[in-house]
Amino acid sequence: AQKITQTQPGMFVQEKEAVTLDCTYDTSDPSYGLFWYKQPSSGEMIFLIYQGSYDQQNATEGRYSLNFQKARKSANLVISASQLGDSAMYFCAMREGSGIQGAQKLVFGQGTRLTINP
Partner 1 sequence: EAQVTQNPRYLITVTGKKLTVTCSQNMNHEYMSWYRQDPGLGLRQIYYSMNVEVTDKGDVPEGYKVSRKEKRNFPLILESPSPNQTSLYFCASSLYGIRGPQHFGDGTRLSIL
Residues that bind partner 1 in the complex, under the rule CB under 8 A = 4, 6, 33, 35, 43-47, 50, 52, 91, 93, 95, 97, 99, 103-111
Whole-number Å distance between alpha carbons of 53 and 31: 6
69 near 77, Cβ under 8 Å?
A: no
**In the bound complex, what is the minimum distance in angstroms from residue 106's beta carbon to partner 1?**
6
98 near 85, Cβ under 8 Å?
A: no
Contacts of 14 (CB under 8 A, 6+ apart): 82, 116, 117
What type of residue is 20?
T
**In the bound complex, what is the minimum distance in angstroms from residue 61's beta carbon to partner 1?**
10
**In the bound complex, what is the minimum distance in angstroms from residue 86's beta carbon to partner 1?**
19
Whole-number Å distance between alpha carbons of 115 and 77: 15
**In the bound complex, what is the minimum distance in angstroms from residue 17's beta carbon to partner 1?**
26
